[in-house]
């Protein structure tokens, strides 16, 4: 980087990242992070000089991003539903599509002051967001990974939501305790193993495989949760899942096998892809 001015630093970063096959937007994110500026401030400071320290840290992290390390792992943060969340290699990086799962749940809550369980919470984005959006809700979050739960606890503390956390597979922690809920929500792993080789390296090499892949057809975890659901979901109750494109019909069938009278809905995301299945029981 020849001189530490904002516009020159960004020009260098954009060229470097494009040559590495990465998005040039990463440069803006990293410079905002190191300079402590909002995007608007960054744009207003285009002709301002950077300190040598900021310029050096920025260059180092741009080069890391060029190797495929997700920018969220470099900054340690990602925004979800307008709020910052801590992320790391132990948890899935939040996707914008999951915000639509939140919207689906909020629009269909079956009770006032609902008791909610988030299965496979990861970084805790769903549980924390629902607790903030529905302050009267009692929210519990589970995950099989103790490292993921540690990250979720950090986000819980940062947002002051005071969630309850349990470690365990699918709904087993609740079945063992004889506990029931008004709402069960989950964004489980749903990618078929056969898709692994064709995925972007910054996803498959840097995010936890247990949060991405779920057997030959991607449905292993759905089958487990749905099979256990009658022991945990109250009636009336709501079950809401994020799914992979093309999985909607079979997941609705699996739900109907367990709850023949359930009212299921398949929702498309903003890109027109199958993304959410809800079931009212």
Return binding residues for substrate.
Answer: 187-190
Query: By three-state DSSP, how is residue 184 classified?
Result: strand
Cis upstream peptide for 249 (omega within 30°): no
Q: What order do you get walking across the sheet with 138-143 strand by strand?
A: 164-167, 138-143, 115-119, 181-186, 233-242, 274-280, 263-268
Binding residues: 120-124, 143, 187-190
User: Residues forming the annotated binding site for S-adenosyl-L-methionine?
Assistant: 120-124, 143, 187
Going from the C-alpha of 25 to that of each of 61, 62, 87, 160, 272, the distances in angstroms are 13, 11, 19, 31, 24
Residue 99 parent element (H or E): helix 97-106
Q: Which two tokens stand for residue 151?
A: 């990250």
Q: What is d(CA 152, CA 157) in angstroms, rounded to the nearest whole number? A: 9
Residue 276: φ, ψ to 5°: -140, 135
Specify the DSSP class assigned to residue 138: E
CA 163 to chain centre: 17
């Amino acid at each position: 980087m020849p001189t530490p001015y904002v516009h020159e630093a960004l020009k260098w970063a954009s060229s470097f990242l494009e040559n590495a096959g990465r998005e040039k937007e990463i440069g803006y994110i990293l410079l905002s992070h190191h300079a402590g500026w909002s995007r608007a401030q960054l744009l207003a400071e285009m002709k301002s000089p950077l300190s040598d320290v900021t310029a050096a840290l920025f260059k180092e992290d741009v080069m890391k991003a060029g190797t495929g390390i997700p920018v969220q792992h470099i900054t340690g943060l990602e925004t979800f539903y307008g709020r910052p969340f801590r992320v790391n290699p132990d948890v899935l990086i939040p996707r914008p599509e999951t915000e639509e799962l939140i919207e689906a749940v909020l629009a269909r809550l079956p009770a006032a002051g609902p008791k909610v369980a988030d299965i496979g919470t990861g970084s805790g984005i769903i549980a924390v967001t629902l607790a903030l959006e529905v302050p009267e809700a009692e929210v519990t979050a589970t995950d099989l990974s103790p490292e993921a739960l540690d990250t979720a606890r950090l986000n819980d503390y940062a947002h002051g939501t005071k969630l309850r956390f349990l470690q365990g597979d699918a709904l087993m922690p609740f079945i063992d305790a004889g506990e029931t809920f008004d709402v069960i929500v989950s964004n489980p792993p749903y990618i078929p193993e056969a898709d692994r080789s064709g995925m972007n390296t910054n996803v498959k090499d840097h995010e936890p495989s247990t949060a991405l892949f779920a057997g030959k057809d991607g449905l292993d975890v759905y089958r487990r949760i749905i099979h256990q659901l009658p022991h945990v979901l109250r009636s009336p109750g709501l079950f809401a899942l994020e799914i992979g494109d093309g999985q909607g019909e079979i997941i609705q069938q699996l739900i109907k096998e367990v709850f023949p009278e359930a009212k299921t809905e398949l929702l498309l995301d903003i890109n027109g892809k199958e993304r959410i299945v809800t079931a009212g029981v």
